[in-house]
Amino acid sequence: MSEVIQLLPDHIANQIAAGEVIQRPASAVKEMLENAIDAGATHIHLIIKDAGKELIQVNDDGKGMSPIDARMCFERHATSKIRTIDDLFEIRTMGFRGEALASIAAVAQVELKTKPKDSEVGTRIVVENSEVQIQEPCSMNQGTHLSVKNLFFNIPARRNFLKSTTTETRHILDEFIRVAMAFPEIAFKFTNNSADIFHLESGKLKLRILSLLGQNLNNKLVPVQEEAGFIQIQGFVASPDAASRTRGNQFFFVNNRFIKSAYLNHAVTQSYQNLIAKDEFPLFVLFLAIDPKRVDINVHPTKQEIKFDEEKMIYAIVHAAVKRALSQYSIAPSLDFSLDANIEHLPSITQPFSKQKQEHTKSDYLFQSFTEKGQAHFLDKKPKIANWQELYQVQQQLNPELTAPETKPEPVFEESFQEEFLQINKAYIIATTKSGCLFINQHLAHERILYERFQRTRLQPLTIQKCLLPVMLEFNAVDTVMLESMLDDLLNLGFEIEKFGQQSFTIQGIPADVKPGKEKETIEQLMESYKHFSSEVKLEKREKLIRLMASQQAIPEGKKLSKAEMQELFQQLLLCEQPSLAPNGKKIMARITSKDIELLIQQS
């Protein structure tokens, strides 16, 4: 009997291996762009034809390759990026497996032209089916041009398996956007079937986001910048009104590598709780920088999933960082990009990937908020004034004009708000601050206060005042069922209502702050708006009820307020978890600085 086991020829082994690395044109695009980045390119040009099925070309001005390296790079496990196993835990390049070019060369017709800086001439190599067809000198500038033609030409089954041109182009576009997003300091060009679809100048992250995702996001991007222990997070999240019904614009990068993590997405989405509808997705572009030792990027061949050592802690940090950014943004709209000059120097804007800072900033409030409680997901729900002060201080750091420069930190709250209040048009309250004033919508402010108070009623029901005489309510069959289903929640909210016969109820008690005599009206109105609201908004039953009650009971526009009432309202607002947005996402206040006022005067 003869032996049956044979070693596979190299090109077949490569083709098999290629299946894992190169699944479609977009995978080749990703590998090629990443190689250009690893080579230190400052300009990268991606050219595709027919969704990459005909041509994928990447030209870069990176460090290039010597003639020998140019030949070596197509060998399997040929990499310049790691040498020992220990290097695996220190990876700072995008690639490291040395598989991409070997795989591409196994399944396409490849032409490589490359020249390092100090060589006179470059090298041109043509490879097909893993075999070098031509190697010759060529003339070119420093850098590398790699053309990949007729992908899968030698594996018809795979080629036929590719999706429509539109779908494959979409995949390429996604990869391009992810890579270009992570490296705003690199200029990119993308040419699709001879049409230039992106021409991205090198610049700051914010600019890159706007060019990739749309200029309409201008004024809607909120900077996020936080450092806690071994992890640094920076980037931008968009204000709630930029949320969309699709997940498309959510970008997480870990050490500049795009990752998919439902867990971390959840951390961000949670920070938008009550600011966006349940079926909406917030837009974000966030960069986490973590010591490579603490991340395992090796778990998935296409490297989009990732494992962290301290997943829960990272969740907590991301959540808190976004939450803080959101509240800063809405407390001070001027923190947005009208302040470019002041915030432009911040690392979150200048560099998405800065060096890992390993000192454990134990004093950091974020760090403390989870270590103290010994529980990663627990973050203090009810911010105290101190917390608010902290936010205010951060603003001051960002915008030094807010206060005169002083060496010792000042007690921000008492001093900065001068307890002077003014009402305009019976609708707005002006609170003066040291550097200007806040314009507050009285109705929305009260709505927010009530909303948060009602939210807490699950744990701490509102006090009920007993009615002297029970009030009768009559409903039709449909409304009866509806009210019945609301009785428990209503009881928490201070309405004691009992079923009384087939379709009638009696009100036995009402919340302490509802005016007696208006019980019936209040409940009927509530039911009426509940019906309309129900069909419009997808929210939990209780959440709807709370929002409605808050909006119904909030002081209306047109109500005159005394100084004491304004002060009370203002102080309660500041105690809110989210003092700047009404439950429906509307902004409650605007801040106007003396500078803004002066501008107004000069412009009028």
Under the binding rule (CB under 5 A), the answer on residue 100 touching Mg ion is yes
CB of 296 to ligand ADP, least distance (A): 17
Secondary structure string (H, E, C) spanning 156-188: HHHHHHCCCHHHHHHHHHHHHHHHHHHCCCCEE
Pick 144 or 396: Cβ nearer ligand ADP: 144
Q: Which of 60-68, 266-274, 304-312, 355-363 is the region at the interface with ligand ADP (rule: CB under 6 A)?
A: 60-68
Number of residues binding to ligand ADP, judged by CB under 6 A: 24
Under the binding rule (CB under 6 A), the answer on residue 73 touching ligand ADP is yes
- 74, 55, 63, 46: which is closest to 175 by C-alpha? 46
Q: Which residues contact 406 (CB under 8 A, 6 or more apart)?
A: none
Q: Which of residues 26, 47, 56, 100 is near ligand ADP by CB under 6 A?
A: 100
Number of residues binding to Mg ion, judged by CB under 5 A: 3
Under the binding rule (CB under 6 A), the answer on residue 80 touching ligand ADP is yes
For 4, 65, 177, 434, the CA distances from 62, given in Å and listed in that order, are: 47, 9, 20, 52
**Tokens, residue 276:** 């966006």
Under the binding rule (CB under 6 A), the answer on residue 28 touching ligand ADP is no
Residue 254 · residue 290 · CB < 8 Å = yes
Residue 176 · residue 27 · CB < 8 Å = no
Pick 58 or 210: Cβ nearer Mg ion: 58
Q: Cα dihedral sign for 466, 472, 474, 480?
A: positive
Under the binding rule (CB under 6 A), the answer on residue 580 touching ligand ADP is no
What span, in angstroms and rounded, lies between the C-alpha atoms of 498 and 477?
16
The span from the first CA to the last CA of the chain, in angstroms, equals: 100
Contacting Mg ion within 17-46 (CB under 5 A): 35
Pick 73 or 555: Cβ nearer ligand ADP: 73
Under the binding rule (CB under 6 A), the answer on residue 31 touching ligand ADP is yes
Under the binding rule (CB under 6 A), the answer on residue 395 touching ligand ADP is no
CB of 301 to ligand ADP, least distance (A): 12
144 binds, options Mg ion, ligand ADP, none, Cβ within 5 to 8 A by partner type: ligand ADP
Pick 81 or 159: Cβ nearer Mg ion: 81
- 444, 452, 475: which is closest to 554 by C-alpha? 444
CB of 35 to Mg ion, least distance (A): 4
Under the binding rule (CB under 6 A), the answer on residue 130 touching ligand ADP is no
Under the binding rule (CB under 5 A), the answer on residue 144 touching Mg ion is no
Residue 549 · residue 450 · CB < 8 Å = yes
Q: Which residues contact 5 (CB under 8 A, 6 or more apart)?
A: none
Contacting Mg ion within 542-601 (CB under 5 A): none
Pick 27 or 553: Cβ nearer Mg ion: 27
CB of 71 to ligand ADP, least distance (A): 10
Pick 63 or 189: Cβ nearer ligand ADP: 63
Q: Which of residues 17, 78, 207, 430 is near ligand ADP by CB under 6 A?
A: 78
Pick 144 or 225: Cβ nearer ligand ADP: 144
Residue 579 · residue 432 · CB < 8 Å = no
Q: Which long-range contacts (CB under 8 A, 24 or more apart) does 192-199 make?
A: 192/48, 193/48, 193/49, 193/50
277 binds, options ligand ADP, Mg ion, none, Cβ within 5 to 8 A by partner type: none
Pick 100 or 127: Cβ nearer Mg ion: 100
Which pairing describes strands 417-424 and 195-200: parallel, antiparallel, or unpaired?
Answer: unpaired
Give ∠ CA 569-572-578 in degrees, rounded to 5. 115
For 21, 71, 322, 475, the CA distances from 533, given in Å and listed in that order, are: 50, 67, 29, 19
Under the binding rule (CB under 5 A), the answer on residue 429 touching Mg ion is no
Question: Which residue's Cβ lies closest to ligand ADP?
Answer: 95
Pick 60 or 452: Cβ nearer ligand ADP: 60
Torsion region of 303: left, alpha or beta (phi above 0 gives left; psi -120 to 50 gives alpha): left
Pick 189 or 312: Cβ nearer ligand ADP: 189
- 263, 393, 375, 390: which is closest to 318 by C-alpha? 263
Would you tell me which residues interact with Mg ion (CB under 5 A)? Answer: 35, 95, 100
Binding site for ligand ADP (CB under 6 A): 31, 35-36, 38-39, 60, 62-65, 73, 78-81, 95-102, 144
